[in-house]
Homo-oligomer: A and B are copies of this chain.
Amino acid sequence: MADLASGEEGDFFALLAEKQTMLTKDGKPYYRVTFRDARRDCSFPIWSDAPLADVCRDQWVVGEFYKVRALYRETNYGPQLDIRKIRPVEPADEADGFSPQMCQPSSRFDTQEMFADLVAIAEEGIDEGPLRTLTVGLLEEHRELLLTWPAATRNHHAFAGGYLEHVRNVSRHAYYLAQRYAELYPDMTPPLRVDVAVAGAILHDIGKLRELRVTPSGGEYTAAGNLIGHILQGRDMVREAAAELEEPLDEETLLRLEHVIVSHQRLPEWGSPKPPMTPEALIVHFADDCDAKYQMMLTILGDDPSEGPVTGRRNVLGQAVYRGGE
């Protein structure tokens, strides 16, 4: 679907991500459906007098995949489909190249490689011992989920692999900054703990595995995610893993690591009950904030529909971004 130009007709596979019952002004029911593939969402109405109305009502199931032939059009109401033919995906379609992954937006980077990269950062930046065991252990334990997790429920890095992409960037930044400061100011007392900064960067958002639940239509908050939040839940995961270690982690290292997680959003109104009180926490905070804001700017530049030298202000940053060209 994402390869079609406006006005072009074609065959493609897509996920039925949403199907809502609506009512016209004169009281007639209709459906609003959303088809999705890796790079595009199409939401449009199926009117009650349309040929597909009955099939839509009775047979289309949210979360299932469909083979579709349709005319794609870009309109003032967003991208639309005029569906010519539609049927559920069949086993034989895999031979034609269908896979569920092709119907979900996902990171531009290979998730296996990003995962391997994260493990590599842990092995470069943390000496062998309980801290590395804990860090790599948590990654391995949750490998399956991490390979698919989004970084958030919206703001468009709500894509599969978004978690790994963000955490990999943050970890690389934090490792670079920590190494640099350790070299520049070797006599700081107590010394900067490069290993804690690296472990903290890798694990800073680990609580999102408990805060969110991933469904066909995207991530959503669990009950505990709502009432407790990923900062506290991530610290729980670290403490639980630390309690399982054969060779125990010394208390101060664990405390420094917990503190990186607790303080990584810096301000109480952003969710951190404590500000960064250690150099490691400071570095992870900046690495995280910088990557989050950079991704937002990237998304805004890609998505903003307005014209002119700057984008609109109704976006996740709440401000205009410069496009250049003037």
Give A contacts to B, CB under 8 Å: 21-23, 25-27, 45, 47, 73, 75-77, 80, 169, 172-173, 176-177, 180-181, 184-185, 188-190, 220-224, 226-229, 231-232, 235-236, 239, 252, 255-256, 258-259, 262-263, 267-275, 277-279, 282-283, 286, 289-290, 293-294, 297-298, 301-302, 308-310, 319-326
Contact = CB atoms under 8 A, between A and B. Distances in A.
Contacts of A289: 286
A41 to B, nearest CB: 18
Contacts of A185: 298
6 contacts: A169-B184, A227-B277, A268-B269, A268-B271, A279-B294, A282-B293
Nearest to A323: B190
A326 B268 contact: no
A297 B273 contact: no
A277 B231 contact: no
Contacts of A320: 226, 277
A155 to B, nearest CB: 16
Contacts of A271: 268, 273
Contacts of A47: 26
B189 A222 contact: no
A169 B185 CA distance: 12
Contact of A180 (B172, B180, B326): B172
Given A23-B75, A27-B73, A226-B277, 4 more contacts: A172-B180, A177-B290, A226-B310, A283-B290
Given A301-B189, A310-B221, A326-B223, A232 B229 contact: no
Contacts of A27: 73, 75, 80
Nearest to A317: B275
Contacts of A302: 188-189
A322 B232 contact: no
B310 A258 contact: no
B278 A255 contact: no
Contacts of A277: 226-227, 310, 319-322
Interface-central residue, A259, A269, A273, by most chain B CB under 10 Å = A273
A322 B227 contact: yes
Given A27-B80, A297-B282, A231 B309 contact: no
A296 B77 CA distance: 34
Contacts of A273: 229, 231-232, 268, 271-273
B282 A290 contact: yes
A271 to B, nearest CB: 5
A263 B226 CA distance: 12
Interface-central residue, A232, A239, A277, A326, by most chain B CB under 10 Å = A277
Contacts of A308: 220
Given A232-B262, A294-B279, A223 B321 contact: no
A322 B223 CA distance: 8
Nearest to A260: B227
